[in-house]
Amino acid sequence: MTTLRVDLEGVGNLYRLCFIRGPWAYFTRTGLDEQWGDGWDKKPYQLQAHPPYGDGTDQILKIAFDGPLFPPEAGLNGHSISVFELNAGASPWLRTESYFHGKQIHIMAGFTLLRFIELIELAGGTVFAPIGWGESPKAFVHASEKAS
């Protein structure tokens, strides 16, 4: 079987995890406190929340993943939570459960794309990105950086 690897050198640390739905993970280039979506303040997020808004073509990155990871509402410690609570660090977006004394993996909001891929693969999963993706997007200057 032949596989292709995407070169994330230019963008892997620019995008941060802000939302997960099904096999899709959404990453943003804005601060988590500035990123919004419909229903992000409502519980349970999986029934109320919609994917993040994106003002520009390169603000949101959507990639697919697969692996033995639990979302916040599933597993032994599952509970109802909103996207805002998840993005504030109240719970991981994804986690493993340690049944066999293995190290637990917690994937939190704000993790970079590179860290996300590393942890998904460590859990035994795979991340899928579109072929041709990975080129550096246009330079992005956050409002807080403009003020300095």
The DSSP symbol for 93 reads S
The amino acid present at 72, given as its one-letter code, is: P
3-state DSSP call for residue 115?
helix
Q: Are residues 20 and 94 in contact, defined by beta-carbon separation less than 8 angstroms?
A: yes
Residue 78 pLDDT grade (very low, low, confident, very high; cuts 50, 70, 90):
confident
In a domain, 10, yes or no: no
pLDDT higher at 48 or 79: 48
In a domain, 37, yes or no: yes
pLDDT at 134 over 60: no
Q: Where do the H-state alpha helices sit in 58-142? A: 83-87, 113-122
In a domain, 104, yes or no: yes
In a domain, 38, yes or no: yes
Residue environment code for 68-83, b if the CB has 16+ CB neighbours within 10 A, otherwise e: ebebbeeeeeeeebbb
pLDDT value at position 100?
60
In a domain, 75, yes or no: yes
Residue 70 CB contacts under 8 Å (≥ 6 apart), including other chains: 78, 94, 95, 96, 97
pLDDT at 143 over 50: no
pLDDT value at position 11?
75
Confidence (pTM): 0.82
Tell me the average pLDDT across 86-91.
96
In a domain, 3, yes or no: no
What is the count of structural domains for the chain?
1
In a domain, 9, yes or no: no
103: left (phi over 0), alpha (psi -120 to 50) or beta: beta
In a domain, 107, yes or no: yes
Q: Are residues 65 and 83 in contact, defined by beta-carbon separation less than 8 angstroms?
A: no
Name the nearest CA neighbour of 52 among 91, 86, 7. 86
Residue 58 pLDDT grade (very low, low, confident, very high; cuts 50, 70, 90):
confident
Range of 52's domain?
16-146
pLDDT value at position 12?
79
